Amino acid sequence: MPRSWRLVDSGAVSPPESAAIDEAILEAHVLGKVPNTLHFYTRSLPAISVGYFQKMAESVDLAECERRGVAIVRRRSGGSSIYTDNGQLIYGLVLHEPDLPQIRADSFRLICEAISSALRSFGVDAVYRPMNDVEVDGRKISGNAQLRRKGSVLQHGTVVVDTDFSAMDAVLRVNSLNRRGVSRPSDRMTSLARIIGAAPEMEKVKGALLTSFEKSLDARFAQSPLTEYEKTLVRDLIEEHYSRHEWNFKF
């Protein structure tokens, strides 16, 4: 029988708040205060999500970000800097390590193949590309990262429904991409809107992902708000980390 998991849908939230919510859910899960949880959200304003160890000067054009009003937030998980806006659905999946394959690459495969299956329901040939991407015709449509803490796993990532590729190219530096023969960040990216000619409704994308996650993880999701513990932790994390220059620009 499928197990009961929680769905939290935050809607459109600020970059500091979204990062804080993901971490608060993870911490509450570690303490046994909440069940396995799927978190959906979109950005209330464009932002760059910077990988924990990423050096800002190597990946972000800070002057262009300021000119365009693009926020910057450093996440807890690793990986490269990515541009996000309200045309991208972002998910965070928090679950117990035993609910995933023991090998990390296989755990990425399980979740990313579920994302691929959801995207195929829109008529696109989405495939998992190791270690942590989903691609269509060799272009990334979903990038993903993991953070593990005391037996709990947070995997979060984007699904590019529609996005401003010109802004992406303007605010991200391409130094690390040139080794791959890429001159602009968007050269490796695509979106549902670009492939099928129009952006599907975000709620339909959420529904497709939810159905696919339920099948892959043997779960049934019931929507529920954050607990009071999580809400308090979100406020603390925003104040102490995600709204502070010292955190977001630490490298």
pLDDT tens digits, one per residue of 193-218: 999 999 999 999 999 999 999 999 99
Amino acid identity of 24? A
Pairwise CA distance, residues 9 & 206, whole Å: 10
**pLDDT number for residue 163:** 98
**Is the Cα torsion angle 221, 47, 104, 133 positive or negative in sign?**
positive
Pairwise CA distance, residues 193 & 136, whole Å: 12
**What does the block give as tokens for 59?**
């990946």
Pairwise CA distance, residues 87 & 96, whole Å: 30
Q: How deeply is 115 buried, as exposed, middle or buried, from its count of CB atoms within 10 A (0-12, 13-18, 19+)?
A: buried
* Eight-state DSSP code of residue 27: H
* Eight-state DSSP code of residue 186: G
**pLDDT number for residue 180:** 56
> Is pLDDT at 176 greater than 70 in this prediction?
no
Count of Cβ atoms closer than 10 Å to residue 126 Cβ: 26
> Is pLDDT at 47 greater than 60 in this prediction?
yes
Ordered structural domains, the chain, with CATH: 3-248 (3.30.930.10)
Q: Do 164 and 115 meet the contact criterion of CB atoms below 8 Å apart? A: no
Query: pLDDT of 124-159, one tens digit each?
Result: 999 999 999 999 999 999 999 999 999 999 999 999
Averaged confidence pLDDT in the chain: 95
**pLDDT number for residue 175:** 65
Q: What is the mean pLDDT of residues 150-170?
A: 98
Q: What is the mean pLDDT of residues 30-34?
A: 98
Pairwise CA distance, residues 57 & 18, whole Å: 23
Query: pLDDT of 81-115, one tens digit each?
Result: 999 999 999 999 999 999 999 999 999 999 999 99
Q: Rounded to two decimals, what is the model's pTM?
A: 0.95
> Is pLDDT at 45 greater than 80 in this prediction?
yes
Q: If you search the block for the tokens 């220059």, which residue do you land on?
A: 245
Beta strands in the chain (DSSP E): 3-13, 37-43, 47-50, 71-74, 82-84, 88-96, 126-129, 133-136, 139-149, 152-160, 219-223
Q: Do 173 and 60 meet the contact criterion of CB atoms below 8 Å apart? A: yes
Count of Cβ atoms closer than 10 Å to residue 137 Cβ: 11
User: Predicted confidence band at 181 (pLDDT cuts at 50, 70, 90)?
Assistant: low
CB-based contacts of 180: which residues, under 8 Å, 6+ apart? 188
> Is pLDDT at 166 greater than 80 in this prediction?
yes
**pLDDT number for residue 32:** 98
